[in-house]
Every structure is written in structure tokens, then in C-alpha cells.
């Protein structure tokens, strides 16, 4: 029996690689002689750089950048095995886990560090870049990103508008004369896992702002600020992108990339799976295990487990998802190629305890799922 183990990270708990190892350990308690192939995945968020670099036998790099609250940090990025393509994940420079819970405030966080990582790729002479934009702490429409690459955001007095999405309400003029002209020759492929527009009830502020610390009044003000910013940016660039699918990704960084670069947005998991040649792995499998920290309606919209499942289903392979938790709409994934979902908690426990025991709970959940697979085989399965 050949089992492919392809989880995403269990965010805040264990990495995709550690999750794959934990799942393998649980599966081997049931199928000790199985050929278990670990293939950790990502969808543009945390783990994207390491996943693609490892899959292509590339190299990791580090750069000093500005964190989401303006504090300096060192972020990891990579160069793929072809030596010509870079890979950056905004989670490393502008990600939510970089902001302590008590300090989460999407009104003031910035994507500047993500722009600085792109600048590092330009300095390395790269002509192609994969940019993962999942897991952000920001809601600034990509303004910080653009500043890092030479744009100026000016108020009515000609002064720089402060960093942070809430201050875009003061924006009166964009000066793009200092933008790094190397961007014109950089092919940017954006790995995104959402298709939300920039503004409105399905926009960046309304849908993703609360999980970054926004209360209802902050959501209202941020949405208005982004709408104002979109008008100014459209006038400056000639590009109408606010309603494009994915413009609201990463607190509007999707829109910023569409305004200021030649970026193309694609589902993040598709980019990662292509780099891994996952289609061939799925073809060779008898069963595929995937997983993530929380499975809900967002998973069905194109997050990593569904991407894995769709690839497996092209070859008629069964798919089991091990999930740290189940949220509203989790059953939607059953219409997207996932045949069964196994939650990790084995008793009532807090989220903190669940995250602290991540590896053990993932391993035990994979074992439980494998035992159900074995039982199904005994009822007439082909094994």
C-alpha cells in the first residue's frame, strides 16, 4: 500500500513538515509495512517558501525587513532550483503570528516588510517571483509594500501618510516616480487562497479584519479607507482592480500588487502542487492523507487540503483530512474531493492545549483515521 501524506501547517502549532511526520507515525501504527511518502504542502501562507524550495532543491536566504508593527526582524525567502525564480511568503515579514495577541490591530500594521523581501529578490537579479500572500496581519491595501519599492503616499499637505490601513483615509496623492523600475521586468506570480474583492461585505476588512483584531467600527473605517485609496490608486495607475477576484487577499495586498506591478494571481495551492509535481505523486497513491489546523467553509474555497484532494480525485484516489478543529461549513469540503474528516481533539480541551499538544494529537487522529480505513478494507475493500 502506498500512502501519500500531504498536510498544510497547523498554524500556530506545528509546521507542515512536522505534521506530515506526525501523521506518518500514526498511520504506521496501523499499516507498519506501508510505503508512506511525506509531501508537506502550502497554499501561499506559512510554509510556502520551505515547501517549494525543498521540492525544487533550491536554497534559502534571509533578509532584514520591517515587521508588521514597524519593528525590525529577519525573514526567510528562497531561490528555486532553477536559480532564476525567487519565492517569498508575506507571512514571514507581515504575518499574523508575528503580532502578539494583545497588540493585534489591523489599523496600523504594514506590508512594508513584504515589499522589502521583493526588493531583496530584485537585488539578487531574479526575473521571476512566486509571492505567497496568505496569513497576513495587515489591512493596508499593499501600501507598505509599495512604499518599500519607492512609492510615496501623500496627504493634502504633501506629507507622507503614516503606515497602516486606517491612515489611507488621509491619502490625497500617489507619487510613483520613485518606484523601482526593475519591477517592470519582474514576472510576479501571486499565490493566493482567496478571491474576495477589496471592499464591501465580502471585502478584505469585513471578512478578514476581525481575525486580525478589528472590531465592527474598525472594520467600517478600514473599509472606507480602502475604498478611498482604491480611487486614488486607480487615478494614478489607470488600473481598476478593486472588484477583481483576489484584490481583497492579505488585507488588500492583492489589490496593491495589481495596482503597482504586473502580478498575476493564481490559487496558491496550485502553484505549490505544480512545483512539487504532486500530480505524479497522487497518481501513484492508494490513499492520500491531508490536513490543516482548522477546516471550515474557507477550506472549500481553495485552501491546501482541497487542492490536494482535487489532484487526488483526478486519479480516483480516496482522501482523508486530519483537522485540528472543525468550523462552520466544514461539510462543504466533502463536495470538493475529501472523503472523510478526522478532528484531532480526543477530549474536551482548550485551543491552547490543543495547539501545545499538536504533534501528538495529529498523530493519534491519523491513527484513528487509518484504523477506519483498515476496517473498510475488511468490509470488502481491494486490500
Residues in the chain: 383
Q: Is 191 helix (H, G, I), strand (E, B) or coil?
A: strand
The string of DSSP letters for 290-311 reads EEES-BSHHHHTT-HHHHHHHH
Map out the domains of the chain as residue ranges: 2-40+277-378, 48-268
Over 60: is that where the pLDDT of 229 sits? yes
Question: What is the assigned CATH class of domain 48-268?
Answer: alpha beta
Please answer whether residues 288 and 279 qualify as being in contact, where contact means their C-beta atoms are separated by less than 8 angstroms: no
pLDDT, one tens digit per residue, over 266-324 is 988 898 998 888 999 999 999 999 999 999 988 887 789 999 999 999 999 999 999 99
**Which grid cell is 58?**
533550491
CA 322 to chain centre: 19
pLDDT, one tens digit per residue, over 10-36 is 988 999 999 999 999 999 999 999 999
Looking at the structure, give the CATH architecture of the domain made up of residues 2-40+277-378.
3-Layer(aba) Sandwich (3.40)
**Which grid cell is 75?**
525573514
Burial of 123 (0-12, 13-18, 19+ CB in 10 A): exposed
Please answer whether residues 381 and 339 qualify as being in contact, where contact means their C-beta atoms are separated by less than 8 angstroms: no
CB atoms < 10 A from the CB of 32, how many?
A: 8
State pTM to two decimals: 0.84
**Which grid cell is 209?**
479584519
pLDDT (0 to 100) of residue 377: 86
Cross-strand bridge partners of residue 342? 322
Q: pLDDT exceeding 70 applies to what percent of the chain?
A: 99
CA distance 89 to 227: 26
Over 50: is that where the pLDDT of 382 sits? no
CA distance 31 to 54: 27
Q: Which is it for the CA torsion 98, 103, 104, 106, positive or negative?
A: negative
Q: Is 20 helix (H, G, I), strand (E, B) or coil?
A: helix
Over 80: is that where the pLDDT of 363 sits? yes
Please answer whether residues 40 and 7 qualify as being in contact, where contact means their C-beta atoms are separated by less than 8 angstroms: yes
pLDDT (0 to 100) of residue 313: 96
Burial of 335 (0-12, 13-18, 19+ CB in 10 A): exposed
Please answer whether residues 223 and 200 qualify as being in contact, where contact means their C-beta atoms are separated by less than 8 angstroms: yes
Q: Where are the beta strands (DSSP E) in 120-159?
A: 128-132, 152-154
72-79 and 152-154 beta bridge pairing: unpaired
**Which grid cell is 155?**
496627504
Over 60: is that where the pLDDT of 380 sits? no
Q: Which of residues 55 and 87 earns the better pLDDT score?
A: 87
CB atoms < 10 A from the CB of 262, how many?
A: 12
Amino acid at each position: 500500500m502506498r500512502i501519500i501524506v500531504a498536510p498544510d501547517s497547523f498554524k500556530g502549532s506545528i509546521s507542515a513538515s512536522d505534521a506530515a511526520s506526525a501523521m506518518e507515525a500514526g498511520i504506521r501504527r496501523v499499516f507498519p509495512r506501508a510505503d508512506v511518502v511525506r509531501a508537506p504542502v502550502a497554499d501561499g501562507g506559512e510554509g510556502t517558501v520551505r515547501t517549494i524550495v525543498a521540492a525544487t532543491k533550491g536554497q534559502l536566504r534571509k533578509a532584514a525587513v520591517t515587521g508588521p508593527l514597524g519593528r525590525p526582524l529577519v525573514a526567510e525567502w528562497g531561490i528555486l532550483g532553477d536559480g532564476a525564480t525567487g519565492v517569498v511568503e508575506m507571512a514571514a515579514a507581515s504575518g499574523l503570528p508575528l503580532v502578539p495577541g494583545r497588540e493585534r490591530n489591523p489599523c496600523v500594521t504594514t506590508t512594508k516588510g513584504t515589499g522589502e523581501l521583493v526588493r531583496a529578490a530584485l537585488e539578487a537579479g531574479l526575473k521571476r517571483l512566486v509571492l505567497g500572500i496568505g496569513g497576513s496581519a495587515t489591512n493596508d491595501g499593499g501600501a507598505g509594500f509599495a512604499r518599500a519599492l519607492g512609492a510615496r503616499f501623500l496627504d493634502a499637505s504633501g506629507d507622507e501618510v503614516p503606515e497602516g490601513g486606517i491612515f489611507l483615509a488621509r491619502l490625497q496623492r500617489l507619487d510613483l516616480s520613485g518606484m523601482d523600475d526593475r519591477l517592470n521586468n519582474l514576472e510576479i506570480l501571486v499565490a493566493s487562497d482567496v478571491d474576495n474583492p477589496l471592499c464591501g461585505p465580502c471585502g478584505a476588512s469585513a471578512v478578514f479584519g476581525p481575525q486580525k483584531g478589528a472590531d465592527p467600527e474598525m472594520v467600517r473605517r478600514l473599509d472606507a479607507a480602502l475604498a478611498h485609496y482604491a480611487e486614488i490608486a486607480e487615478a494614478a495607475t489607470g488600473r481598476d482592480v478593486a472588484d477583481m477576484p483576489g484584490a481583497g487577499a492579505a488585507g488588500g495586498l492583492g489589490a496593491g500588487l495589481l495596482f503597482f506591478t504586473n502580478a498575476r494571481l493564481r490559487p496558491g495551492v496550485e502553484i505549490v502542487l505544480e512545483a512539487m509535481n504532486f500530480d505524479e505523486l497522487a497518481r501513484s497513491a492508494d490513499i492520500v492523507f491531508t490536513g490543516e489546523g482548522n477546516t471550515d467553509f474557507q477550506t472549500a474555497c481553495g485552501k491546501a487540503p482541497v487542492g490536494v484532494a482535487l489532484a487526488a480525485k483526478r486519479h480516483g484516489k480516496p482522501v482523508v483530512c486530519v483537522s485540528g478543529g472543525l468550523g462552520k461549513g466544514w461539510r462543504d469540503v466533502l463536495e470538493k474531493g475529501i472523503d472523510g474528516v478526522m478532528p484531532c481533539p480526543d477530549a474536551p480541551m482548550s485551543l491552547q492545549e490543543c495547539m501545545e499538544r499538536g504533534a501528538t494529537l495529529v498523530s493519534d487522529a491519523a491513527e484513528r483515521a487509518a484504523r477506519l480505513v483498515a476496517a473498510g478494507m475488511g468490509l470488502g475493500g481491494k486490500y
